[in-house]
Amino acid sequence: MCNHKADLTMKASPKIFMLATATLLLACADLLTGGTGLTGLDAGIFLKLRLPRMLTAVLAGACLSLAGLQMQSVFRNPLADPHIMGVSAGAGTGAAMATLLIGTSLPAALSGLTVATAAFLGALLTSMLVVTVASKFQSTTTLLIFGVMLGFIFSALTSILEYSANAESLKVFYSWSAGSFSGSRPGEVAVIASALLIGVTLTYINNKGLDIALFGDEYASLAGADISRIRGIAMIGSCLMAGAVTAFCGPLGFVGIVAPHIARGFLGTSVHMKVIPAVMLTGAGLTLVADILSNAFPTPLPVGSTMALIGIPIILTILMKRR
Residue 36: is its pLDDT beyond 50? no
As a whole-number percent, the residues of the chain with pLDDT over 70 amount to 85
Query: What is the mean predicted confidence (pLDDT) over 120-142?
Result: 75
Average pLDDT of the chain to the nearest whole number: 82
What pLDDT is recorded for position 37? 44
Among 61, 19, 28, 7, smallest CA distance to 283 is for 61
Tell me the pLDDT tens digit for each residue of 242-264. Answer: 888 888 888 888 899 999 999 99
User: pLDDT, tens digit, for every residue of 5-24?
Assistant: 555 555 568 889 999 999 99
Mean pLDDT, residues 81-86 taken together? 83
Q: List the one residue out of 61, 57, 60 whose CA is nearest residue 35.
A: 57
Write the pLDDT tens digit of every residue in 213-228. Answer: 888 878 888 888 888 8
Task: Give residue 38's region: left, alpha or beta (phi > 0; psi -120 to 50).
Answer: beta
Give residue 119's pLDDT band: very low, low, confident or very high (50, 70, 90): confident
Q: Which CATH architecture has domain 43-321?
A: Orthogonal Bundle (1.10)
DSSP-derived secondary structure letter, 186: H
Asked whether residue 161 carries a pLDDT value surpassing 70, the answer given is yes
Alpha-carbon dihedral sign for residues 149, 238, 194, 66: negative
List CB contacts of 264: < 8 A, sequence separation 6 or more: 270, 275, 279
DSSP letter string over 103-116?
TTSS-HHHHHHHHH
Interval 268-291 mean pLDDT: 94
pLDDT, position 206: 94
* Beta-carbon contacts of residue 227 (< 8 Å; ≥ 6 apart): 138, 212, 213, 217, 220, 221
Q: Does residue 1 have a pLDDT over 50?
A: no
Most confident of 89-103, 133-147, 253-267: 253-267
According to the model, what pLDDT value does residue 25 have? 92
**H and E: helices and strands count for the chain:** 14, 0
Q: Please give the distance of CA 64 from its chain centroid, rounded to a whole number.
A: 2
Extents of the domains making up the chain = 43-321
- Higher pLDDT: 264 or 145? It is 264
What's the whole-model pTM score? 0.85
